[in-house]
Structure 1
Amino acid sequence: MAVAHASHLTTGCLFRVIFKEVGFFKRSWCAGFKTVRGCSSLSGPHTFLSASHTGNERSELLSRYDSLVCSASLQEDAQQRTALYHLEQLNSVMTDYNNIPMYLPPPKACSLKNQFTNDSEQEKTPKSGGREADRRVKPSRPEDILSNAKYCENDTHEGVPKPQPPCGYYIYGDVGTGKTMLMDLFYSCVKNGRKKRVHFNAFMLDVHRRIHKLKQSLPKRRIGKMTMYDPIFPVAMGIAEEICLICFDEFQVVDIADAMILKQLFEGLFKCGVVVVATSNRPPEELYKNGLQRAAFVPFIGVLKKHCHAINLKTGKDYRTIEMELAGRLYNISSEPDAENVVNTLFEELAFRQNDVTRPRVLKVHGREVTLSRTCGTIADCTFQELCERPLGAGDYLEIAQRFDTVIIRNVPQLQVGMKDQARRFITLIDNFYDQKVRVVMLADAPLDYLFDQGPMTGEEARDRLMLDELGLTDEASRRLTLFTAEEESFACQRTLSRLTEMQTEQYWMRGDRSKK
């Protein structure tokens, strides 16, 4: 790949290219797609443009799209324009939408503390006075949470059936087809303060923390008495009191603990009037494909399709791989004679611009300490071993992404089949960095095209195959066991390579510069 071997720039040229002023979205991708049936029928691409959408009546969302097209940042695409028209219809509804009066309990009801908002957002919450402040007061008794949840589960409000909340959207397609770009445009145009955009993995981590916190707050069960309670719906209600629109990036289900609670969780969110917009690499029917106990997960698919239109963003192209101007030599191969010197020089140049000294940094994540051996201001110089060979997860990578805008990753090996744990951590790392627009510089053993080696079975895969043979399981049975299938990993690898390609472009690099924000 040309991106992987972009080694002809001198170090001086590198810094001139990296730090010069450029506009956002230069030569950005665009994508067309066709719509499919969701919670209501979506017609073909030429039937959406109604007469009301012509002439001088211009929506903000489509006006921004037109501006990007006029500036040559995006290519004109009729299907994409159609999809944005539908998103604009939702945007116009969301401007004045509030789920509190109709779907949630009276003002004294409350939610658990919002775990996925940052401290600065929490500090802005009114301390007293006003309807919103009343709704954020913590209940005096844990039992109040359960009683409020029963109120919300009721399908009537003051004797009148509750109306259905607005339908959301579930946008899916192959890697690099522009799903995130559509989400960016939509989310930036929504003028509702009760909105939240969050990576799906981070959201589920927060849900599990809330469930654990609620269980701990409830009174202990007495000997000889069985007390039954359901913590999932109260958690959904708590989220609904904080937001009425939630936008998910990378909606994917790979964990059985998540799969078993999703139906009940999202039923609760929808009953509380939450609107969901999500992007995913999978159509709804293929979520948690081949997962353990998938039969218990399948009902969630029906719930999702009932409340979200499904849009297939399938163009057959990966727009991140289309030639775009490179930010410099950001992906380096260790076998090249000057590779390490280029990375060292880049760190020194970036560190010189920081008001800090080069030092180790200790991050506290959920009561644990994560040490990074070499940092300077918002720059972290790490090794693959530090980031992916220690037992770190999405929460740790999210904390790093929020603290640093540029991360150097050294000693990245060719990720072979037997390195499944390290590969999964690396994929999660890049997902979190991409979502937070973190700039990445890599020093790897293999070109980007060959970073993930899909070679013959070795190590762990061979042991898995032997276990299957000893159990007498057929190939069809093995494909149904997530433990023994590489389908999800293969798809995730493609997404990671696509994102690493885009992360080397000039437009991505400049967007990630937090010193200008």
Structure 2
Amino acid sequence: MLFLTTLKNFNKLANKRTIYVSQFSKYFSSKTDGGPLQVLNKKIDSQELLPDEHQVEIAKHLQRIYEQIQVYRPPEIPVVKVNPLSKWFPFIFPKPVKPRLDPSKRLKGLYIYGSVGGGKTMLMDMFFECCDMIPNKKRAHFNSFMTEVHKEIHRLKLKQIRDTSTTRVDKVNYDPIEPVARKIRQNSWLVCFDEFQVTDIADAMILKRLFTNLFNFGVVVICTSNRKPDDLYKNGLQRSNFLPFIPILKDHCEVVRLDSGIDYRTTNKGMGEHYFLDEDPDTEFNVDTIFKILCSQENDIIRPKTFTHFGRNLTFAKTCGQVLDTTFNEICSRELGASDYTQLAQYFHTIIIRYVPQLNLRKKSATRRFITLIDSLYDNRVRVVISAEVPLEYLFSEEKPSDLYLDDEHRALMDDLKLSSDSTELSGNIFSGEEEIFAFERTKSRLMEMQTSEYWQLWAKHQ
């Protein structure tokens, strides 16, 4: 009798095991079948996307990495133990050599560059979503990522200064780049960067060390950019210090170009649904109506709202729930940066920006903020309503002032770098406005897409 009972229980367990294995196999196959190339082909077959051989070629590169990444596992982060006596007796107790990843075990990433609106971000996002079997992955706008890197560097430096167990020499020689890279690697070994661009001298000076450590830790990088690697930080200040980063990037990322000659954002239907001209007498009424409709869907009242960010308060005069009604001066003429705009993009689902002037190189600081703002909003699928002085195609005037115009921010930078008014460094893109001219093409293309009903419907999917 005991034997029969045991046999019966064994059969039950065997049946349950068969069910669990079947369910697991079904789950696993649903997660790993296909890839970005298959997703793209399905969208083309369903006429959700137009066939584009250039996009298909990029998808093939992403498919290769997707298949390789199924079996790739980054190496354990090496722990380097330093003998405390090495600082006093370096010849007897030398510092250990940092281990490097065997080149044969590296998995090359991908650097996709090309003109605006060609589908670079869309393809990268397809790849990222297909990699749902990887918990340690990160997708970020490059400017936002570097803002967080500098924030962490600052935190580690302060911690080192306050550490009473370290000597003054150790504090001066302390390099926080490797610990920052370790933290990034611990959280994510697959990183996808959108809009890889280098415009800030502080970023340019640390990229070589930061990415050398990331690649040595086995991080796989996928990124999109409007510039090819050799043109990154073009005409930037002290670019000679940045140049060694380029071969490192090219060594660890295959470089491919996506340039079909079509800006798909400008081919969408329904253009201009949420972009108004200030000179139109109906504009204020139309924008007010949109705000009232949005407010009716919020469980809140119209009121000011204050955000506390990095120890300072940012107040906006007119909000209702997750809707912000602001002006260009309020959101772009104040000292706000990428991290501020990222916070706004994570809180509001719709932002109304009134009285946007025609932007030009005499408004360089405000123009850069507007570019950064739109990048952050687009990256988070935030809906935008704009009233502006001129039509969208003329929103940025590329006409350069007859004389070199330097605002207070640039004059302060000249003082920090000890540059004179006749220095050849003043031809750098940070002073000339070349980077703003280049970047605004992307901003204009994104704004065109952000006006469409198709883009507005993305918010529900994004949620």
> TM-score, with normalisation over the residues of structure 2?
0.82
Q: 1:459 to 1:419 in 2, by over 3 A?
A: farther
> In the alignment, does 2:345 pair up with 1:401?
yes
* Match of residue 239 from structure 1: 184
AA partner of residue 361 (structure 1): K
Q: Within 1, Cα distance between the matches of 2:193 and 2:430?
A: 26
* Match of residue 209 from structure 1: 151
> Contact (CA 8 Å) 1:94, 1:192: kept in 2 or not?
no
Q: Within 1, Cα distance between the matches of 2:310 and 2:421?
A: 40
Which entry has the higher C-alpha Rg, 1 or 2? 2
Q: What do residues 396-440 of structure 1 show as CA deviations (whole Å, max 9, x unaligned)?
A: 100000000100001111113311111111111101001111100
> In the alignment, does 2:457 pair up with 1:510?
yes
AA partner of residue 78 (structure 2): P
AA partner of residue 89 (structure 1): R
* Match of residue 195 from structure 1: 137
* Match of residue 70 from structure 2: 95
Q: Within 1, Cα distance between the matches of 2:439 and 2:54?
A: 26
Give 1:211 deviation, angstroms: 1.3
Q: How does 1:144-159 map to 2 (within 5 A)?
A: 153-155=98-100
Q: Within 1, Cα distance between the matches of 2:374 and 2:168?
A: 49
Q: How does 1:243-254 map to 2 (within 5 A)?
A: 243-254=188-199
SS in 2 for 1:512: helix
Q: 1:462 to 1:293 in 2, by over 3 A?
A: closer
The list of structure 1 runs, each at least 4 consecutive aligned residues, that deviate by more than 4 angstroms after superposition, is: 223-227, 470-473
* Match of residue 42 from structure 2: 67
* Greater RCO (Cα-Cα under 8 Å, separation 6 or more): 1
* Match of residue 26 from structure 2: none
Q: What do residues 267-325 of structure 1 show as CA deviations (whole Å, max 9, x unaligned)?
A: 00000010000001100000000011111110100000000000111122222111423
Q: How does 1:255-266 map to 2 (within 5 A)?
A: 255-266=200-211
* Match of residue 230 from structure 1: 175
2:433 to 486, 489, 492: 486
Q: Within 2, Cα distance between the matches of 1:455 and 1:162?
A: 48
Q: How does 1:220-369 map to 2 (within 5 A)?
A: 220=164, 222=167, 228-326=173-271, 329-369=273-313
* Match of residue 122 from structure 2: 181
> Contact (CA 8 Å) 1:332, 1:443: kept in 2 or not?
yes
Q: Percent identity?
A: 44
**Unaligned 5+ runs, structure 1:** 1-56, 110-142, 144-149
Question: Could you say what the CA RMSD is over the residues aligned between the two structures, in angstroms?
Answer: 2.7
More helix by share: 2
Give 1:480 deviation, angstroms: 4.4
SS in 2 for 1:337: coil
AA partner of residue 79 (structure 1): H
Number of residue pairs the alignment of both structures matches: 407
> In the alignment, does 2:332 pair up with 1:388?
yes
Give 1:162 deviation, angstroms: 6.9
Q: 1:151 to 1:344 in 2, by over 3 A?
A: farther
* Match of residue 78 from structure 2: 105
Q: 1:205 to 1:472 in 2, by over 3 A?
A: closer
Give 1:482 deviation, angstroms: 2.8
AA partner of residue 343 (structure 2): E
* Match of residue 418 from structure 1: 362
Q: Within 2, Cα distance between the matches of 1:226 and 1:499?
A: 45
> Contact (CA 8 Å) 2:406, 2:431: kept in 1 or not?
no
- Name which of structure 1's ranges 405-414 and 75-84 shifts more when overlaid on structure 2: 75-84
SS in 2 for 1:461: coil
> Contact (CA 8 Å) 2:78, 2:99: kept in 1 or not?
no
Q: 1:234 to 1:323 in 2, by over 3 A?
A: closer
Q: Within 1, Cα distance between the matches of 2:97 and 2:191?
A: 19
> Contact (CA 8 Å) 1:104, 1:152: kept in 2 or not?
no
Q: 1:384 to 1:259 in 2, by over 3 A?
A: same
SS in 2 for 1:206: helix
AA partner of residue 351 (structure 1): C
Q: Within 1, Cα distance between the matches of 2:268 and 2:351?
A: 24
